[in-house]
Amino acid sequence: MSQNMLPKLLLVDDDEIIAETLGMLLQNDYDITIAESREDARRKLATMQRKPQLALVDLGLPPETHTPNEGFALIPELLAHDSKMKILVLSGQDERANVQHAITLGAIDFVPKPCDAELLKTRLSHQVMLLESETSESKPSSEVELIGNSIAMDGLLAQIQQFASAPFPVLVEGESGTGKELVAKLLHEKSDRKEKPYFIINCAAFTKELLEAQLFGHTKGAFTGANKEHSGFFEEAAGGTLFMDEIGELPLELQAKLLRVLENGEFYRLGETKTRVSTARVVAATNKNMKEEVRNGHFRQDLYHRLSILTIKMPSLAERENDPLLLLEHFKGVYAGTVPPFSLDEHAQDMWSKYSFPGNVRELRNLVIRLGTKYPGQTVGTAQLAVEIETDEIANEVKALNVADNDSVLKQMQAADFDLEAYLLDVERQYVSVAMEQSKGNLSQTAKMLKLNRTTLYSRLDKLGLRDKDV
Cβ contacts of 169 within 8 Å, gap of 6 or more? 262, 281, 282, 283, 284, 306, 307, 309, 310
- Please report, for the domain that includes residue 324, its CATH number: 1.10.8.60
Domain count, the chain: 4
List, in sequence order, the alpha helices (H) in 193-251: 208-216, 233-236
> Given this model, what pLDDT does residue 403 score?
47
Three-state secondary-structure class, residue 416: coil
Domain stops at, among 137, 170, 192: 137
Of 397, 432, 447, at which residue does a domain stop?
Answer: 397
How many Cβ atoms from other residues are within 10 Å of residue 216's Cβ? 24
Amino acid at 64: E
Whether 54 and 124 have beta carbons less than 8 Å apart is answered as: yes
| pLDDT per position as a tens digit, 401-412 | 554 445 555 666
Asked if residue 33 is part of any domain, the answer here is yes
Classify strands 54-57 and 31-35 as parallel, antiparallel or unpaired: unpaired
In a domain, residue 144? The reply is no
Q: How many residues does the chain have?
A: 471
Phi/psi of residue 315, each to 5°?
-75, 140
Q: What is the pLDDT of residue 398?
A: 54
Helix (H, G, I), strand (E, B) or coil at 199: strand
Residues 175 and 227 in one domain: yes
Q: What distance in Å separates the CA atoms of residue 139 and residue 340, rounded to the nearest whole number?
A: 21
Task: Flag whether 432 is in a domain.
Answer: yes
**Dihedral angle at the C-alpha atoms of 345, 351, 352, 354, nearest 10 degrees?**
150
Full domain range(s) for residue 387: 317-397
Domain-embedded: residue 206: yes
DSSP code per residue over 419-451: -HHHHHHHHHHHHHHHHHHHTTT-HHHHHHHHT
Chain-centre distance for alpha carbon 290: 19
Domain shared by 203 and 292, yes or no: yes
The dihedrals phi and psi of 162, each to the nearest 5 degrees, come to: -70, -40
- Is the same domain home to 298 and 358? no
Identify the pLDDT of residue 263: 95
Per-residue confidence (pLDDT) for residue 142, from 0 to 100:
47
Nearest-angstrom CA–CA distance, 159 and 349: 31
DSSP 311-368: EEEPPPGGGSTTHHHHHHHHHHHHTTTTS---EE-HHHHHHHHH---TTHHHHHHHHH
| pLDDT (tens digit per residue) in 156-190 | 999 999 999 999 999 999 999 999 999 999 999 99
314 DSSP β-pair partners: none
Q: Find all residues with CB under 8 Å of 262, minimum gap 6, and list them.
A: 169, 282, 303, 306, 307
Q: What is the CA radius of gyration of the chain?
A: 25
Examine the domain organization and report whether 219 and 365 are in the same domain.
no
> Is residue 282 in some structural domain?
yes
Both 392 and 419 in a single domain?
no
pLDDT at 408: 54
Task: Decide if 470 is inside a domain.
Answer: no
**Per-residue pLDDT for the chain (471 aa), expressed as one digit of tens each?**
556 689 999 999 999 999 999 999 999 999 999 999 999 999 999 888 888 999 999 999 999 888 999 999 999 999 988 888 999 999 999 888 899 899 999 999 999 998 888 999 999 999 998 888 776 655 554 456 799 999 999 999 999 999 999 999 999 999 999 999 999 999 999 999 999 999 999 998 888 888 999 999 988 877 766 678 888 999 999 999 999 999 999 999 999 999 999 999 999 998 888 999 999 999 999 999 999 999 999 999 999 999 999 999 999 999 999 999 999 999 999 898 889 999 999 999 999 999 999 999 999 999 999 999 999 999 999 999 988 887 655 555 555 555 444 555 566 666 666 777 776 777 777 778 777 777 777 887 788 778 787 777 877 887 777 766 543
User: Based on the domain organization, do 288 and 187 belong to the same domain?
Assistant: yes
What phi-psi label fits residue 411: left (phi over 0), alpha (psi between -120 and 50 degrees) or beta?
alpha
SS3 assignment, position 371: helix
pTM: 0.73
- Any domain includes 471: no
**Does the residue 265 lie in any domain?**
yes
CATH number of domain containing 279: 3.40.50.300
Q: For residues 189 and 246, state if they share a domain.
A: yes
Task: Please report the pLDDT score of residue 397 as a whole number.
Answer: 53
Q: What is the CATH number of the domain that holds 120?
A: 3.40.50.2300
**Same domain flag for 305 and 325:** no
- Of 109, 137, 165, the domain-final residue: 137
Note every long-range contact of 182-187, with CB atoms under 8 Å and residues 24 or more positions apart, other chains counting.
Answer: 182/144, 182/146, 183/146, 183/156, 183/285, 183/312, 183/314, 184/241, 184/243, 184/245, 184/283, 184/285, 185/141, 185/144, 185/243, 186/144, 186/145, 186/146, 186/160, 187/160, 187/163, 187/241, 187/283
Judgement on whether residues 22 and 93 belong to the same structural domain of the protein: yes
Same domain, 428 and 293: no
Coil, helix or strand at residue 214 = helix
- Cα 299 to Cα 366: distance, rounded to the nearest angstrom: 33
On the 0-12 / 13-18 / 19+ scale of CB atoms within 10 A, 382 is middle
The verdict on 109 and 255 lying in the same domain is no
Spatial neighbors of 128 by CB under 8 A, at least 6 apart, are 7, 53, 54
- DSSP string for 50-112: S--SEEEE-SS-TT-TTSSHHHHHHHHHHHHH-TT-EEEEEES---HHHHHHHHHHT-SEEEE
In whole angstroms, how far apart are CA 258 and each of 206, 214, 268, 299? Answer: 16, 13, 11, 12
User: What does the buried/exposed string (b/e) look like for 292-323 if buried means 16 or more CB atoms within 10 Å of the residue's CB?
Assistant: ebbeeebbbeebbebbbebebebbbbeebbeb
Do 437 and 425 share a domain, yes or no? yes
For residues 244 and 284, what is the distance between their CA atoms, to the nearest angstrom?
A: 5
